[in-house]
A and B are shown apart, each in its own frame.
Chain A
Amino acid sequence: MKRGDWMVLTCCLLLAGALALPKLWPAGHPEVFVNGNQITGSVTVNGVAIDAQSGRARVKSSPCRDKLCVRAGEISRPGQVIVCLPQKVVIEIRGSGGSGVDAQAY
């Protein structure tokens, strides 16, 4: 190979590296937020017992009537939520990448 070839090759490699850079930027792990505050482990908010571990969350028990929050089961994907309206508790999974959805209409 001639010198010019090496030059072109080096340029190409560097450019490819630069292109890949934004993709390699460290992506955040999903985190559990309750009413806007990040939590880990077991916490109780407004009487609702929540279990949060490594980006997963579920409601263990709640004093509300319908128990919809308990029946919602476990959530783990960014964007997923559990809401307990009677107790005023919102549990969300947040994280970059994720679902790429800004909000859910219903």
Chain B
Amino acid sequence: MKKYIAAILAVVILAGAAVLAYLVILAADGAFLDDTPKRYTGFAMGSVLEQTYWNQEHGQWEAERSERVARAVAQTEEELNAAREAPSELQQLMEASGGAFNPYLKALTALWNIDSKDGSPPRVPTEEEIQAALQTKQLDPGAYGKGMACDAAWKVLAEAGNDRLPLPKTLVNLGGNICALGITHEFRIALRDPKGGPNDTLGLFTFRGTRCISTSGSYEKYFEQGGKRYHHIFDPQTGRPAQRDPGLVSVTIVSQSGAIGDALSTACFVLGYEASLPLLGQYGADALFIYENGAVKNAGHARDYFKLQNNAYHWE
């Protein structure tokens, strides 16, 4: 009888040890950490500013950090409004893109009035009006402002990483412009269907490390007149909605800089797929070009970490 008790005891101890060892491995792996991210939502630059923090203590640290990020974004907005010249890196991009990215088209944008602030209707201007507006060189930070704000947020968070190594997984989303910060952390970022609603997705980016995602599309702001659709991304050569690459609906850039990525998305939308490839190569950025007929074209390595999840679209 004693033999049996000893045997049962041995089994219990052995099994207990195995379970304990397994739990220790799980704990070390972070399985019991609260992986529900802490989210801070605010408004900046006419968009939603969303900050997400993972694997944190969910306390004072993130709250304080998120306020500093919000302040940095607000400060960037003020600086952008006061600026008369684009930063030198963007002047360079303007030249590199052959003028396809042009941040000095404020008069032209105001003329078309597609992003109407006061409710007055947009309209198709005359050729004379367009030419006059193209001559007026006035800074409009619209095509890179959000990206720059993302960079400012990024800087605050990177500094935070210094007093708390390793840098935790963090994400800043300013009106769809995303900066994902992490070292080994995996990010899963959905890309909105340019032809769908806010909750329809086209596919999923899955990557590790730090990246910025920026999109320019003709679907965001537009108006229709005489059966023709006029969108808000202008070709600096013609002063009219860009249409060098027929059927192009949107361009999504994945890069290492918010401002460059944001400006590149506009430049590439104007240039079209073929003409964008050298520019993207020069900046080491990846891109997806999405077309009206559902075609998706890859530039760089985007296809390696982007999965299409929408039957209305196909790789080309």
Task: Say if the beta carbon of A26 comes within 8 Å of chain B.
Answer: no
Determine the chain B residues whose CB is within 8 A of the CB of A3 once the complex forms. 4, 7
Determine the chain A residues whose CB is within 8 A of the CB of B226 once the complex forms. none
Contact B189 A103 (CB under 8 A): yes
| Cβ distance A103 to chain B, nearest Cβ, rounded Å | 5
Contact A10 B192 (CB under 8 A): no
Contact A15 B47 (CB under 8 A): no
Task: Provide the A13-42 mask, 1 if CB < 8 A to any CB of B, else 0.
Answer: 011011100100000100001011000000
Task: Say if the beta carbon of B23 comes within 8 Å of chain A.
Answer: yes
Known: A28-B36, A72-B197, A83-B48. A102 touches B11 (CB 8 A): no
Task: Provide the B171-213 mask, 1 if CB < 8 A to any CB of A, else 0.
Answer: 1010011101000000111111010011101001100000001
Task: Specify the main secondary structure of chain A where it touches its partner.
Answer: mixed
Contact A101 B204 (CB under 8 A): yes
Among the stretches B13-21, B103-111, B278-286, the one at the interface with A is: B13-21
Contact B199 A7 (CB under 8 A): no
Contact A36 B39 (CB under 8 A): yes
Contact B213 A105 (CB under 8 A): yes
Task: Say if the beta carbon of B313 comes within 8 Å of chain A.
Answer: no
**Whole-angstrom distance between the alpha carbons of A83 and B260 in the complex?**
27
Contact A15 B22 (CB under 8 A): yes
Contact A15 B19 (CB under 8 A): yes
Determine the chain B residues whose CB is within 8 A of the CB of A77 once the complex forms. 199
| Cβ distance B122 to chain A, nearest Cβ, rounded Å | 14
Residue of B nearest to A91 (CB): B41
Determine the chain A residues whose CB is within 8 A of the CB of B18 once the complex forms. 11, 14-15, 18
Determine the chain A residues whose CB is within 8 A of the CB of B52 once the complex forms. 102-103
**Whole-angstrom distance between the alpha carbons of A8 and B6 in the complex?**
15
Contact of B14 among A11, A65, A72, A90 (CB under 8 A): A11
Contact B178 A105 (CB under 8 A): yes
Contact of A104 among B35, B47, B176, B180 (CB under 8 A): B176
Task: Say if the beta carbon of A53 comes within 8 Å of chain B.
Answer: no
Contact A7 B11 (CB under 8 A): yes
For this complex, into which size category does the number of interface residues on chain A fall?
35 or more
Determine the chain B residues whose CB is within 8 A of the CB of A61 once the complex forms. none
Contact A92 B41 (CB under 8 A): yes
Known: A80-B199, A81-B199. A103 touches B22 (CB 8 A): no
Contact A90 B41 (CB under 8 A): yes
Contact of A105 among B12, B14, B48, B189 (CB under 8 A): B189
Task: Say if the beta carbon of B227 comes within 8 Å of chain A.
Answer: no
**Whole-angstrom distance between the alpha carbons of A82 and B46 in the complex?**
16
5 contacts between A and B (CB under 8 A): A33-B39, A81-B198, A94-B39, A101-B190, A105-B213
Residues of B bordering A, CB below 8 Å: 4, 7, 10-12, 14-16, 18-19, 22-23, 26, 31-32, 35-37, 39-41, 43, 46-48, 50, 52, 119, 171, 173, 176-178, 180, 187-192, 194, 197-199, 201, 204-205, 213-215, 217, 252
Residues of A bordering B, CB below 8 Å: 3, 6-7, 10-11, 14-15, 17-19, 22, 28, 33, 35-36, 65, 72, 75, 77, 80-83, 85, 88, 90, 92, 94, 96, 99-106
Extra inter-chain contacts (13) besides given A15-B18, A103-B190, CB under 8 Å: A18-B18, A18-B22, A36-B39, A75-B199, A81-B198, A90-B48, A96-B36, A103-B50, A103-B173, A104-B176, A104-B191, A106-B176, A106-B192
